Amino acid sequence: MLKPLLQFGVIAASFFLIWFGLDRIDWMTIFQVEKTTKNIEEKLGDLYWDILKKIDDEITDKNVISPVDSLITRICDRNDINRDKIKLHVVENGEVNAFALPDYHLVVFSGLIEECENEAELCGIIAHELAHLEKGHIMQKLVKEVGLSVLLSMTSGNGNPEIIRQAVKVLTSSAYDRKLETEADLAGADYMIRAGIDPEAFAQFMFRMSENEKGLPDQLFWISTHPGSEQRTRAILDYIKDREFTEEIVLDSLQWISLKENSANH
Amino acid sequence: MMTTSSIGYIPSDHEAEKASNSYLMSLIAVIAGLPLPIINLIATVIFYLGNRKGTYFVRWHCTQALLSQFSLLIINTNGFWWTIGILFRDGEVTNQYIAYMITVFLFNLVEFIATIYTAIQVRKGKHVEWWFYGDLTNMICKK
């Protein structure tokens, strides 16, 4: 009995030794894993954005873009997120919605800007979407719900139009699973605290939207695609309960009103 | 790593064919079973159950073919679930993962070559004992 045991030990040891030895080699560089992943994300991001901009017009008015850009820049700068990689698109659409696409495309609907009562609420949604981007949730969700083979065929230009349409729907109008949403909520709250923006505003916004949801289900896209808003509001409030932060306003009240007005004019 | 020995009698052509088929079964299962490693084992278990009352030569080789699947099952299953984790959960491709998958591939390749070689030799009526698995089979399979 001892002999087979020893032999098994030798086989197991050789397996781990080979594994350990191979682990010394930098396979990530050899196989260009990061570059390939980035290429796929870039192609998918561009493909998604190309489709979306055909549906809704992008707002290029500086009076709208600059203030939103200032909010994003504040969150990024205080959280070591590279601002340059974020591609902001403000879209002319009355739905209360914002979402992130692969390769750091961040789409904000003008309806969301109009619905927010202050900059902190808008920052809350932006921080939440940035958290999805930073934590790699976008590709995770796409692979899970659309499938890797479909995504690869989309990037090679061979995607079936109906499948592409469904794939677009996955990111723009359906929620991440509860675990990822909670992770993004709490990370978003952290981003806000570090950026000197009141995270409670995000919780309040979610609560307000969930209350309004019954009356206007079609317009409140963001909240209807983020279920369990009441529990999530409580979770955020619990998370930030004992956290201290100093509020530093990004936009003054005139700039905020101007942003809302300009956004509504489109 | 492999020794050719005698089992005390010369197996008939029919026995040699059946014994050889037990190894071929695991090869077919490798092709059909990818990427689900459990299918390899199920296929060899079914073949083993069908031949467990056969002659000593057939039983012995069915057992060796079956046992050789177990260690591969462990490492392949681990690789399978690791891959699933990367694709559908929050895992990411790491250097350690790639090194693991290459190691798994090498072990599967060695097993694949050894299985083909053994299937050919056993078909000729030669009794091939693998290192470790041969000893283990001798403990389980009695004349």
B125 closest CA partner among B39, B57, B46:
B57
Domain total of chain A: 1
Residues 30-49 of A with CB under 8 A from B: 31, 33, 37
Residue at A28: amino acid letter: M
What distance in Å separates the CA atoms of residue A217 and residue A215, rounded to the nearest whole number?
A: 6
Residue at A148 is within a domain: yes
Instruction: Determine whether the interchain pair A4/B135 forms a contact, defined as Cβ–Cβ distance below 8 Å.
Output: yes
| A249 phi and psi angles, rounded to 5 deg | -70, 140
A27 interface with B at CB cutoff 8 Å? yes
Å between B106 CA and nearest CA of chain A: 9
Residue at A9 is within a domain: no
Token pair belonging to A67 = 């203030």
What distance in Å separates the CA atoms of residue A197 and residue A247, rounded to the nearest whole number?
A: 6
Burial-class residue B72 by CB neighbours within 10 Å (0-12, 13-18, 19+): buried
Token pair belonging to A200 = 């409670």
* 8 A C-beta contact, residue B137 and residue B57: no
What distance in Å separates the CA atoms of residue A56 and residue B142, rounded to the nearest whole number?
A: 76
Q: What pLDDT does A213 receive? A: 61
The per-residue pLDDT for range A125-183, each reduced to its tens digit, is 999 999 999 998 888 888 777 777 677 777 766 666 777 777 777 777 666 777 888 89
Residue at A40 is within a domain: yes
Band (pLDDT 50/70/90 cuts) for residue B28 is confident
Q: Which residue has the higher pLDDT, A32 or A79?
A: A79
Longest dimension (CA), chain B: 57
* Weakest-pLDDT range from A43-52, A80-89, A181-190: A43-52
CA angle B77, B43, B139 (to 5 degrees): 85
Residue at B79 is within a domain: yes
Residue at A14 is within a domain: no
Measure CB to CB from residue B106 to each of A11, A18, A26 and give the nearest one: A18
Å between A8 CA and nearest CA of chain B: 7
Residue at B64 is within a domain: yes
Size of interface A-B (CB pairs under 8 A): 55
Instruction: Return the SS3 of B6.
Output: coil
Band (pLDDT 50/70/90 cuts) for residue A88 is very high
Band (pLDDT 50/70/90 cuts) for residue A218 is low
Q: What pLDDT does A249 receive? A: 87
- Residue A94, pLDDT > 70, answer yes
A209 closest CA partner among A193, A198, A220, A225:
A220
Residue at A205 is within a domain: yes
Residue at A237 is within a domain: yes
Residue at A247 is within a domain: yes
What distance in Å separates the CA atoms of residue A15 and residue B99, rounded to the nearest whole number?
A: 11
Residue at A129 is within a domain: yes
End-to-end CA distance of chain B: 24
Residue at B1 is within a domain: no
Q: Which residue has the higher pLDDT, B58 or B8?
A: B58
Contacts of B84 (CB under 8 A, 6+ apart): none
Strand partners, A87: A105
Token pair belonging to B70 = 């177990």
Domain total of chain B: 1
User: Which residues form the domain of B133?
Assistant: 7-140
Strand partners, B128: B4
User: Which residues form the domain of A231?
Assistant: 31-264
> Tokens 């509504």 sit at which residue?
A264
**pTM attached to this predicted model:** 0.70
Contacts of A135 in chain B (CB under 8 A): 90
Q: Predicted ipTM? A: 0.87
Buried b (16+ CB within 10 A) or exposed e, A230-248: eebbebbbebbeeeeeeee
Strand A98-101 versus strand B2-5 pairing type: unpaired
Residue at B26 is within a domain: yes
Residue at B2 is within a domain: no
Å between B78 CA and nearest CA of chain A: 13
Q: What is the mean pLDDT of chain A?
A: 86
